[in-house]
Copies of this chain bind each other. A is one copy, B any other.
Amino acid sequence: MAVNKRIGKQTLMLPSAPTICGYASVAGQKEGEGPLKNCFDLVSEDSYFGEPSWEKAEMKMLRQCFSLACEKAKLSPTALDAVFSGDLLNQCVSSAFSQKDSGIPYLGLYGACSTMAEALGLAALLIDGGYARRTAAVTGSHFCSAERQYRFPLEYGGQRPPTAQWTVTGAGAVLLQNGGAGAKVTHVTFGRIVDAGIKDQNHMGAAMAPAAFDTLRAHFADTGRTPRDYDAIFTGDLGALGHDILQKLFADEGVTLDCLYMDCGVLIYDRTTQQVNAGGSGCGCSASVLGGHILRAMENGVFNRILFAATGALMSPLTSQQGDSIPGVCHAIAIENGGAM
């Protein structure tokens, strides 16, 4: 087999353009009170989703989201050949436990908050390569489980600096198939790790923006496209500050992103009233915005070609305790209506 689906340095072209045949999003109470409240398929009334712990709530949320995507696609989970899933909990247990009874071959990922793009890219490649008929990409995060794992017990009431972000309680699921009607995945640009030397755990936007810059720049160079070839470009969870840093990095190279560039972490909350400081973050941020707002907008023809660039911070509390910096990564997925590339 010749290497015939690679263009430029990092971008993979998917000639068959796998179709998004189903998608869903589930959100927590706070997210359900934000600007995107009408985009989610399901909003929980509290942080427990009817479960006895926040971790079990997160597992339930992922399960619900995956089930909703299957229902909306009118597919039985058994019709899927593989599911790619990952999350922020130690050992990615919310993904594993949410899929443990599905009977679908399971590929666990850890891409931090970039997981939705990594999962979507690999899920699309499996179809385009002729290895699967239908695949799924699922991820999510939960504010309360993340907060106590990464930072402090919630009861402690720790103060948050203005650069801090708020982990989204939310999940997204996307189902892909070979052919049929729906938006299509046309290009995948898997990113390199970029370490800008940022050590402030409360400034993830600054840690991840250079990785987003690196991957988006590679995507444009590889494809010969410019930002204006997209109706919208979404980063995952850079927040308001990371959003500005990314624009500045491009501006320094003479490239204007303008108002076609948005960040899921900025879109999901009303920063003036919801006290989320720099905005949303977490695997569930980009996943719920993709499975809620973005794919609905594509279905309604608001956008016809978008670039989804989820961003991740590859750190742990332990690496920060040991004085390490916070490397970032970003994977970009081009999605468009219609079949033409």
Q: Measuring CB to CB, which residues of chain A are less than 8 angstroms from any residue of chain B?
A: 1-6, 10, 12, 15-16, 53, 55-56, 81-82, 86, 88-93, 96-97, 99-112, 118, 122, 125-133, 178, 190-193, 195, 314-319, 322, 324, 327, 329
Q: Which residues of B contact A55 (CB under 8 A)?
A: 318-319, 322
What are 10 A-to-B residue pairs whose CB atoms are below 8 Å?
A10-B81, A90-B91, A100-B195, A100-B327, A102-B192, A107-B190, A108-B110, A110-B110, A129-B130, A129-B131
Q: Which residues of B contact A12 (CB under 8 A)?
A: 131
A314's contact among B6, B93, B191, by CB below 8 Å, is which? B93
A107 to B: closest C-beta gap in Å = 6
* A120 to B90 CA separation, bound complex (whole angstroms): 23
A178's contact among B3, B97, B191, B329, by CB below 8 Å, is which? B3
A327 to B, closest residue via Cβ: B100
* A133 to B1 CA separation, bound complex (whole angstroms): 10
Q: Which residues of B contact A195 (CB under 8 A)?
A: 100-101
- Residue in A10, A56, A192, A329 whose Cβ sees the most chain B Cβ within 10 Å: A192
A81 contacts B6, CB within 8 Å? Answer: yes
A97's contact among B4, B92, B102, B319, by CB below 8 Å, is which? B319
B110 contacts A314, CB within 8 Å? Answer: no
* A316 to B97 CA separation, bound complex (whole angstroms): 11
With contact pairs A4-B130, A125-B125, A130-B1 given, residues A108 and B314 touching in the complex (Cβ less than 8 Å): yes
- Residue in A131, A133, A316 whose Cβ sees the most chain B Cβ within 10 Å: A131
A259 to B: closest C-beta gap in Å = 29
A126 to B, closest residue via Cβ: B125
Q: Which residues of B contact A89 (CB under 8 A)?
A: 316, 318
- Residue in A3, A111, A125 whose Cβ sees the most chain B Cβ within 10 Å: A3
Q: Which residues of B contact A111 (CB under 8 A)?
A: 107-108
B107 contacts A316, CB within 8 Å? Answer: no
Q: Which residues of B contact A100 (CB under 8 A)?
A: 193, 195, 314, 327
A278 to B: closest C-beta gap in Å = 21
A9 to B: closest C-beta gap in Å = 9
B53 contacts A322, CB within 8 Å? Answer: yes
* A287 to B327 CA separation, bound complex (whole angstroms): 25
Q: Which residues of B contact A319 (CB under 8 A)?
A: 55, 91, 93, 97
A5 contacts B130, CB within 8 Å? Answer: yes
B129 contacts A125, CB within 8 Å? Answer: yes
Further 17 A-B residue pairs, CB within 8 A, beyond A91-B319, A125-B129? A1-B178, A3-B131, A3-B178, A56-B322, A91-B314, A92-B314, A93-B318, A100-B314, A100-B327, A105-B190, A105-B191, A106-B191, A107-B111, A107-B118, A107-B122, A110-B110, A125-B125
- Residue in A109, A111, A329 whose Cβ sees the most chain B Cβ within 10 Å: A109
- Residue in A2, A100, A118 whose Cβ sees the most chain B Cβ within 10 Å: A100
Q: Which residues of B contact A90 (CB under 8 A)?
A: 90-91, 316-318
A275 to B: closest C-beta gap in Å = 26
A-B pairs, top 4 by smallest CB distance, nearest first, are: A129-B129, A96-B314, A1-B16, A91-B316
A1's contact among B56, B81, B109, B129, by CB below 8 Å, is which? B129
